[in-house]
Chain A
Amino acid sequence: MSQLPKPDRDQLRAKYPDVFDRPAETRLATPAMIVGAFAVFVFGLVNLDFSPARLWSGLSQLGWITLMMIPPDPGSSLPAYLSALGETLSIAVLGTTVAAVLALPVSLLAARNIIPSQLLRFPVRRAFDSIRGVDTLIWALVWINVVGLGPFAGVLAIAVADFGAFGKLFSEAIEAADKKQVEGIRASGGTALHEIRFGLMPQVLPVIAGQVLYFIESNTRSATIIGIVGAGGIGLQLAEQIRVLEWQKVSFLILMILVAVAAIDWISGKLRFAIIGQRAIA
């Protein structure tokens, strides 16, 4: 039976000092980071008035609200709620579609493989960044002051905010496209427009369609929130019923939103598969 030769510890220690005598910084780094992160957490809690006593006393209130919610009941306002839900869905679909249609041509200008010049791409990218940096809710407050209360302000808010998001996502999808297919078009004598239409778009459109469908789904939720600040739709109804403590109506509205989001999720899944083709997944 063969055995490792007895290690010469002193010689090895001299040869690889870092293995045997790890410097204090590396030995203490991990514990220091854990202690540091915990300290930041505690500081945050104290700073934000975290109080277990208040949470405890509030818990009974939460239980009481939950009891008041059962059973969910729209009262006599079901038609009004349905039309409000329709309004919210329209805000989401219209806003997202407008954003996507406007962002697609502009995102070409932000893609490295279309515009190689950093000088030209930079302002477009920064514009997308700054638009995206302002949240949908804030855009809603801005547009309510410009065009007045109602769903039109909601559509504008979603369209503008997601224009920034789509611009970034689309341009990245375009940059990830396969160069060889574009080169095939160029070598056949196609113009730059042909390269984009026949070389890039067939590759990019399924990705873009998936992103747009997800945003419609996510914007159904956003549209509820911006409804609360006055941009119309079911959010407005929800805020009002919470204010007048009609908890049965509140729970009914929440259930309506859940069902709507689930339905949109299901439809968008079907649509996405129809666009990209089943085979690509299999």
Chain B
Amino acid sequence: MLVVEGLTCRFGTKAAVDNASFSIAPGSFVGVIGRSGAGKSTLLRMINRLAEPSEGRILFEGVDVTALRGKELRQWRARSAMIFQQFNLVGRLDVLTNVLMGRLAEIPSWRSLTQLWPDEDRALAMSALEQFDMAAIAAQRADQLSGGQQQRVAIARALVQEPDIILADEPIASLDPRNTRIVMDALLRINKHFGITVICNLHSLDLARNYCDRLIGMAAGRVVFDGAPEMLTDRIARELYDLEASDVMGTAPAQTPDGATVPAAA
């Protein structure tokens, strides 16, 4: 059980996340929706502790994650695996080494720094790559892959961290429609197969409704919606997204009586 209590993050005077509170049951697939700048990324980054909360607490199975330091903090980061919009792979390292980065918190530093990875960790990494049909390109450099392939490597890296939670920050925002489906299906499979909780920032409401069993809506740093996808009416969506609503819901742009398209930003 992941519990977030009154979580706030301020950059200067502006609150990126403002007093967010919710709890997430193990094994759920939660979508966080809202406009750009609503605080979705900061929320996920605070859970992984890449961003420091200004106020509030994050509890996981009763442990106060916000107070962790040193080795315990690193182990928490491994348990709450991040997946990034820009993949955040190390371009000049090969695919296998990138996946093995997910083992850093577990392996003694003298082994990882000298790249003497134990065989069981190599095996774990290769089986994670096999899950996504990527084992054949394990020796290729990460920056030679397409975006969809890179994101699958990043998911493999997250998987070998043996995480309890996967935090996916707009995982499909840099991908084409086909790769979008591959990556979202991969996340769904991890969720159903291994029972790993997935918290996924999404821009598209269609995807959120299709994949998630619970949605958290954010606007201006606050949690303004929390419920099942069916409860998200068009009216609430419109409030969440303002003018953008028609874009993210995938409906045709509004038409004036004479048929001319109204520009969205006008």
What per-residue 1/0 map shows which CB atoms of A180-204 lie under 8 Å from chain B? 1101111111110110011100110
Q: Is the CB of A181 within 8 A of B104?
A: no
Report the minimal beta-carbon distance from B74 to chain A, rounded to whole angstroms. Answer: 4
Which interface class (under 10, 10 to 19, 20 to 34, 35 or more) fits A? 20 to 34
Residues of B contacting A: mostly? mixed
Question: Which B residues between 57 and 107 are near A, CB-CB below 8 angstroms?
Answer: 74-78, 81-82, 84, 86-93, 97, 101-102, 104-106
Q: Is the CB of A188 within 8 A of B102?
A: yes
Q: Is the CB of A187 within 8 A of B88?
A: yes
Assess A181 versus B90: contact at CB under 8 Å? Given A188-B161, A189-B75, A191-B109.
Answer: yes
Q: Is the CB of B157 within 8 A of A188?
A: yes
Query: Which chain B residues lie closer than 8 Å to A183 at the CB level?
Result: 50, 84, 88
Which residue from chain B places its CB closest to the CB of A279 in the assembled complex?
A: B144
Q: Is the CB of A184 within 8 A of B90?
A: yes
Which 10 pairs show the lowest CB-CB distances between chains A and B? A189-B105, A184-B88, A189-B78, A187-B82, A202-B92, A190-B104, A189-B74, A189-B77, A180-B88, A181-B90
In the complex, number of A-B residue pairs with CB atoms less than 8 Å apart: 83
Query: Which chain A residues lie closer than 8 Å to B19 at the CB level?
Result: none
Interchain CA distance A181-B76 in the complex, whole Å? 19
Q: Is the CB of A184 within 8 A of B105?
A: no
Assess A188 versus B91: contact at CB under 8 Å? Given A180-B84, A180-B86.
Answer: no
Interchain CA distance A198-B97 in the complex, whole Å? 9
Q: Is the CB of A203 within 8 A of B75?
A: no
Q: Is the CB of B101 within 8 A of A186?
A: no
Question: Which A residues between 12 and 45 are near B, CB-CB below 8 angstroms?
Answer: none
Report the minimal beta-carbon distance from B50 to chain A, rounded to whole angstroms. Answer: 6
Assess A190 versus B84: contact at CB under 8 Å? Given A181-B89, A202-B92, A203-B90.
Answer: no
Q: Is the CB of B90 within 8 A of A190?
A: no
A-B contact pairs, 5 of them (CB 8 A): A185-B90, A188-B81, A190-B104, A193-B109, A198-B90
Q: Is the CB of A190 within 8 A of B105?
A: yes
Query: Which chain A residues lie closer than 8 Å to B84 at the CB level?
Result: 180, 183-184, 187
Instruction: Answer whether residue B151 sits at the interface, using C-beta atoms and an 8 A cutoff.
Output: no
Report the minimal beta-carbon distance from A157 to chain B, rounded to whole angstroms. Answer: 34
Interchain CA distance A277-B143 in the complex, whole Å? 12
Q: Is the CB of A181 within 8 A of B97?
A: no
Query: Which chain B residues lie closer than 8 Å to A178 at the CB level?
Result: 91
Q: Is the CB of A181 within 8 A of B77?
A: no
Instruction: Answer whether residue B112 sits at the interface, using C-beta atoms and an 8 A cutoff.
Output: yes
Which residue from chain B places its CB closest to the CB of A277 in the assembled complex?
A: B141
Query: Which chain A residues lie closer than 8 Å to B112 at the CB level?
Result: 194
Which residue from chain B places its CB closest to the CB of A187 in the assembled complex?
A: B82
Assess A184 versus B74: contact at CB under 8 Å? Given A189-B161, A190-B101, A202-B93.
Answer: no
